[in-house]
Amino acid sequence: MTNRIFIISTICILFIWDSYAQQIKPASAKTIKIGLLISNSKSVAARNGAELAISKANEEEGSDGLHFQLIVKSMEGPWGTGSKEAVNLVFNDNVWALMGSNDGRNAHLIEQVIAKTHIIFLSAWASDPTLSQAFVPWYFNCVPNNIQQVDVLIEEIYNKRNLNKIAVVSDNSYDSRLALQSFVDKTKKAGKEEPIQFFLESSAENSFLKIRKEDINCFVLFGQPSASVRFIKQFRQNNMNQPVFGILSLLGENNFEDVKLTNYNNVVLATSGNWLTSSTLTFQKEFNKKYGKIPGAVAAYAFDGMNLIIEAIKHSGLDREKMQKTMSKTHYKGVTGSIQFDKMGNREGAVELIQITDGIPVTIDK
């Protein structure tokens, strides 16, 4: 009941401010604020990626005298906090655009805010395909959605490798269950043998007792990092050697530390591009110099997402309508691959597969 009252109150606030939304101006003609919404206060990777993009933009000459400032808000707390923080960024902090590195449920709340305020919202992590189905013109996503990711996994598993006895393993988070359903729906539509479904319990060992009874060709993981890493460790302890595949969310942040890629050795993952290649060496060096570590997927998408927003601001003359059109026509070469959007704000382009080898993502040739 409390969550429902909160959401209703938030929507009422948006309606009250609706008539003023188009009049929102930056705090200064030269200082442009950009909001970043993160899952919790310990989500440092997205913050780091966005900060690096901001600092590079402010160091560049010929940026029309604009100075960019990052305002970060955490969405941790009762469900609905994301909506409140998005409202605060728009009306109290007076940001020019929003970027989110968060889950799909919170992204839907942010989308409600931008539908009323006409502020650009770029999702830099949520892969929920229903976000674009509301067709809010100010919504964009620089991450391949679940449908795009499972398409490339199904092609690799069923068609290229001729594996048919598939087990899909998921935790009970919103994003994981949604991605799992996308995979199951797609396999049915393609006329493939329906995968066997398992859900990760609090004890991975209990799950394994059930899984080992089946004659499985390969596993596909849909889960957050902690549950996925727990499964993989148990998998190895049981001396199992079937191929393991997963979606991009496996590389999200843990609550207390960045994901160690060595945990995913030999796992094949869907992504838009490999952010650790010779062509992205500058990004790797600059990130390592600034933060003392190699950038992960979350940081890479946040870096690309923030650069997209900055470029759109520079080319729009601080006009919100022009900025939306500029984003719609984006053709950007980022560290996560080429980025452009379809008419619903989804990232277009081929989804790639990477295999983690000795803690390094290696692109799998098509």
Rounded Cα distance between 17 and 344, Å, is: 26
**Averaged pLDDT, 187-213:** 77
Find, among 159, 149, 180, 160, the residue nearest to 351 by Cα.
Answer: 149
Considering just the CA atoms, what is the radius of gyration of the chain in Å? Answer: 21
Task: Decide if pLDDT at 75 tops 80.
Answer: yes
- pLDDT (tens digit per residue) in 262-292: 889 999 999 999 999 988 999 999 999 999 9
DSSP code of 20?
Answer: G
CATH assignment of 146-271, among 3.40.190.10, 3.40.50.300, 3.40.50.2300, 3.40.50.1370:
3.40.50.2300
Q: What percent of the chain has pLDDT over 70?
A: 86
| pLDDT score of 63 | 57
Structure tokens at 237: 């302890």
Task: Decide if pLDDT at 164 tops 70.
Answer: yes
- pLDDT (tens digit per residue) in 14-50: 444 444 444 444 444 489 999 999 998 888 999 999 9
- Residue with the bigger pLDDT between 227 and 335: it is 335
Task: Decide if pLDDT at 364 tops 90.
Answer: yes
Return all residues near 120 (Cβ < 8 A) that are at least 6 apart: 96, 97, 98, 114, 138, 140, 309, 312, 320, 323, 324, 327
Rounded Cα distance between 323 and 212, Å, is: 53
**Averaged pLDDT, 133-148:** 96
| pLDDT score of 155 | 96
| pLDDT score of 87 | 95
What topology does CATH give the domain 2-143+279-339?
Rossmann fold (3.40.50)
Q: Is the dihedral of CA 32, 38, 44, 49 positive or negative?
A: negative
Ramachandran bin of 190, using left for φ above 0, alpha for ψ from -120 to 50, beta for the remaining angles: alpha
Structure tokens at 73: 């808000």
Domain boundary assignment for the chain: 2-143+279-339, 146-271
| pLDDT score of 253 | 82
Contact criterion met (CB below 8 Å) for 192 and 164: yes
152 burial (CB, 10 Å; 0-12 / 13-18 / 19+) is buried
**Averaged pLDDT, 119-144:** 96
Rounded Cα distance between 309 and 332, Å, is: 11
| pLDDT score of 27 | 43
| pLDDT score of 30 | 81
Average pLDDT, the chain: 87
Return all residues near 62 (Cβ < 8 A) that are at least 6 apart: none
**Averaged pLDDT, 316-339:** 94
Largest CA distance in the chain: 65
**Averaged pLDDT, 141-146:** 97
Q: Decide if 2-143+279-339 and 146-271 have a common fold.
A: yes
Give, for 225, the enclosing helix (H) or strand (E). Answer: helix 225-237
Q: What are phi and psi of 197, to 5 degrees?
A: -105, 135
| pLDDT score of 62 | 54
**Averaged pLDDT, 131-159:** 96
| pLDDT score of 38 | 96
Task: Decide if pLDDT at 4 tops 60.
Answer: no
How far are the Cα atoms of 68, 144, 187, 230, 338 from residue 140, in angstroms, in the given order?
Answer: 20, 11, 27, 33, 15
